[in-house]
Chain A
């Protein structure tokens, strides 16, 4: 318990110190405070992980009772179990690395202290989200990470694109969160409690299993409705189709933020939430189907858009969308362990890739267009090697991290009988390998395309390179350490007890099938890499141009991100703007609201105009009035 509380206190204290004294007194020493705070969390997370993994230590305790409303009691409670301990490791590791990296990356920025304050807020809120033992704390953390994401995307708020992006992220999340609220209300309504222990109780779930409601003329089971609501929140937070459009725009924020929030931790909150609620989702068959659909769709969507983008960070962003689709798909098919495992490995290598892109961006004077880069491998050896490791890891080449988790997801999807999803996901794996290596080849290999930029490029300072190396090592190792052997690795032993619903139907595959799948996924990954090599090294730029010419409509469709932004503008933004402009502003605001407000001023003025004549300014008038008043009072009360 003490370690869990300390984990929360570290960033909280850092946030308070930096937030209150940062501008005046701490200034450039802000990172020291913030890193100390997150360092405390990191150490505590390691200790907790050690305790949980070796001694089966768990905590489900109440710090104090937070809300008492009638019979509903919501504690400020802390839950440490294998799931939250592994999330703690992810959050604190990436957060610590990003803190250190930001020291170099953000150096000289006017909002140096502000940046670290926000980072501390984010870390704190993410830890609250992960450590809470009830839906209320999950919700609070959920909203707080949304807030810190908003603040950090809009960190350079003077840039219009950044200000727009943070608004977009916030609004898109609100749409998803609306569903989340409904889900939470259904949870309260059903279980009369917000505690996980009450809601994930096999007996309680058994009771409500058969309850159905009629919504819009169709009959849904209560659990389906509840989980669908909750999943809407996950769709917003984890950027699932059709709410995915905010994530690529969120790349307007500083790159460390993209690495921490929009790749490694916050966007995985949805996956964490679904995994945490596995007891409910396992019973929700209709929602599960939808989850698989949304996940598969998102994976394909992200990967297909990623094929054509030229902005390095956007490529990574769409890759993130695609990988999140994988995780969600895994939760849909019931492979919660694999989903969390992929979350874990993905956090490492995607965090790494983003930090590398930040390093490249630094070297290229904030230029992110991959078409002007090239040949950077000599100038930036550390960044190059770590980026390459990240690419291999995400492409799924053994023995790096991505292979183990991704292959498990594919295997479980296949074993679960979702062959269409499996087919799409396998294709997506190939596409992922292709576009990741496309970005690698364009940035680091070949000839420099802009000599001016290339000549000024330089390797980043050790504060930035250090985290890269550390995360690269993790990207190589974590998959093997936790994932070997496939489908029965340590991670399964570790997470199995909390993430396997009581009566999950086990899918067994023959050994041969498993091996065939494994070999297939490796082959596809290698094929993707080879194609990328042919396109962007061997026959560059002839082959890519020819391909673009051949598939012009498709390329344009993908380059414009399936026209999602335009569609949403047409469907929602423009009608609402029109409505606000014509009806709400010109009709209602001007004629009704302003009228009421003015009336509040005019009526007292009119009364004042009447009553002012009583104020003669002559003292004797007042005295007469007073005496008459006294007479009246005496007459009222004393005259017999």
Chain B
């Protein structure tokens, strides 16, 4: 039962993510692109839940869908550039698609070449009794990775200051 549920979930979420991202890339209007991206983010959040990463799924929704995407929307609205025309240079589109396809095939071939991954069963996280995902995550993050965590905070601070300085009107 659970297994069927997992399978169905994976396919639904995966196809949603792929289709949404395809639409995102191909929409002429940036606002539409942003909305399709929102859908992709939600689908990816669902996949995170499937992979026993509830906390990540939560911040995926909050940070990506809530913060970053809103930031994009703001900029798009703010600049409101006139339409740049979508497919003016077909050669470029063909070239880009071909390169991306080759890259994809190469990745897949590389994956297929390594035997372990093909048959690796996803059994889900086996957390110790009474330890939820968030607790386990916090335990690792604030012990082993405390220094990178602090560095990341400094990075965000710097980015904030930098963004203000750059975007400031002189």
Q: Indicate if B96 sits at the interface (CB-CB under 8 A).
A: yes
By a CB distance below 8 angstroms, the chain A residues around B110 are 634, 638-640
By a CB distance below 8 angstroms, the chain B residues around A628 are 99
Which A591-640 residues have C-beta < 8 A from chain B?
Answer: 620, 624, 627-628, 630-631, 634-635, 638-640
A249 to B110, CA, bound (A): 86
A621's nearest neighbour on chain B, judged by CB, is B92
A341 to B118, CA, bound (A): 102
Minimum C-beta distance from B140 to chain A (A):
30
By a CB distance below 8 angstroms, the chain A residues around B95 are 624
Chain-A contact segment, one of B101-109, B130-138, B154-162 = B101-109
By a CB distance below 8 angstroms, the chain A residues around B81 are none
B103's nearest neighbour on chain A, judged by CB, is A631
Q: Indicate if B90 sits at the interface (CB-CB under 8 A).
A: no
Interface size on A, residues (CB 8 A): 11
Q: Indicate if B113 sits at the interface (CB-CB under 8 A).
A: yes
Q: How large is the interface on B (under 10, 10 to 19, 20 to 34, 35 or more residues)?
A: 10 to 19
Q: Are B106 and A627 closer than 8 Å at their CB atoms?
A: no
Q: Are A639 and B99 closer than 8 Å at their CB atoms?
A: no
Q: Are A639 and B103 closer than 8 Å at their CB atoms?
A: no
Q: Are B109 and A627 closer than 8 Å at their CB atoms?
A: no
B contact face: mostly helix, strand, loop, or mixed: helix
Are A631 and B106 also in contact (CB < 8 A) when A639-B113, A640-B113 are?
yes
A627 to B97, CA, bound (A): 12
By a CB distance below 8 angstroms, the chain A residues around B96 are 620, 624
Q: Are B92 and A620 closer than 8 Å at their CB atoms?
A: yes
Q: Are B103 and A627 closer than 8 Å at their CB atoms?
A: yes
Which B66-118 residues have C-beta < 8 A from chain A?
Answer: 92, 95-96, 99-100, 102-103, 106-107, 109-110, 113-114
A639 to B99, CA, bound (A): 16
A627 to B99, CA, bound (A): 8
A634 to B103, CA, bound (A): 9
A630 to B96, CA, bound (A): 14
A525 to B84, CA, bound (A): 112
By a CB distance below 8 angstroms, the chain B residues around A631 are 99, 102-103, 106
By a CB distance below 8 angstroms, the chain B residues around A627 are 99-100, 103
A627 to B114, CA, bound (A): 23
What residues of chain B have their CB less than 8 Å away from a CB belonging to chain A?
92, 95-96, 99-100, 102-103, 106-107, 109-110, 113-114
What residues of chain A have their CB less than 8 Å away from a CB belonging to chain B?
620, 624, 627-628, 630-631, 634-635, 638-640
Q: Which 8 A-B pairs have the closest CB atoms?
A: A640-B113, A638-B110, A627-B99, A634-B106, A631-B103, A639-B109, A631-B102, A631-B106
Q: Can you report 26 A-B residue pairs in the complex whose CB atoms are below 8 A from each other?
A: A620-B92, A620-B96, A624-B95, A624-B96, A624-B99, A627-B100, A627-B103, A628-B99, A630-B103, A631-B99, A631-B103, A631-B106, A634-B106, A634-B107, A634-B110, A635-B106, A638-B110, A638-B113, A639-B106, A639-B109, A639-B110, A639-B113, A640-B109, A640-B110, A640-B113, A640-B114
